[in-house]
Structure 1
Amino acid sequence: MLQELARLSNVKLCVSSRPWNVFEDALGQTLDAKIKHPAFEASEHDKGHYKHITAKIIERAQGVSLLVFLVVRSLLEGMSNGDMLSLSRRIPADLRQFFRYMLDSLDPIHNQHVAHFFLLALVSQEPIPLMMYSFFEDEFSNKW
Structure 2
Amino acid sequence: MSSPAIVGFSGNITRPSKTRSFVDLIVQDIATRHGLTGRTYDIDDVGPSLGAAKWSRDLDDRGQAILTQVIAADVLVVGSPTYKGSYTGLFKHFFDLIDPSALRGKPVLLTATGGGERHALVVEHQLRPLFGFFEAFTLPTAVYA
> What's the TM-score bracket when you normalise by the shorter of the two chains?
under 0.3
More helix by share: 1
Q: What is the TM-score with the length of structure 2 in the denominator?
A: 0.22
Q: What is the TM-score with the length of structure 1 in the denominator?
A: 0.22
Higher RCO (CA 8 Å, separation ≥ 6 residues): 2
More strand by share: 2
